[in-house]
Structure 1
Amino acid sequence: MGAHGPGDGVVWQMSDLEGPVERAAERVARGPAAETDTERRRRRAQFLRELHEAKALRERVQPRRARAARMRQAMRMRTFRW
């Protein structure tokens, strides 16, 4: 019942292990310059959806603190100089 060793009959197929790692390595090799505009917009839209959901949850769970945060943000926006 110990760890698997080289002589216990377990054979790992390298092709099973290489797929996701190779795809991730290709994305890293491409770098941000090769990222398409649609991929970037899709990731940004997903991020903004999750951010909005988190803010809504925080507002439901801590209404007083959320209101204070909204007031601080409003004050910041009023005093910001364009």
Structure 2
Amino acid sequence: MTLRFIGIDPATDGDECPTVWVDEATADLVIQGWRADEVTEAECRESGKIPDTEGVVRIPVRMAQILREACDAAERERAKLQ
């Protein structure tokens, strides 16, 4: 697996901040974010279950441009894989 760093929270304090990568082998997005609180997870479960192998994370809106960049990069990687 080769992860390409796309961006980190622009308001980072340098410690454990939301970050986005693209897996160049699969074109998947890999996202590190703040673990959602119990209230948020409960609301998410209203739409369906959250399997043990998945988690709910929060990404600040200030990272929207970074997420767009990651999506574009993932689509370019996917095109290379096809």
TM-score (norm 2): 0.32
TM-score (norm 1): 0.32
Structure whose residues are more often strand by fraction: 2
Q: Which has the greater radius of gyration?
A: 1
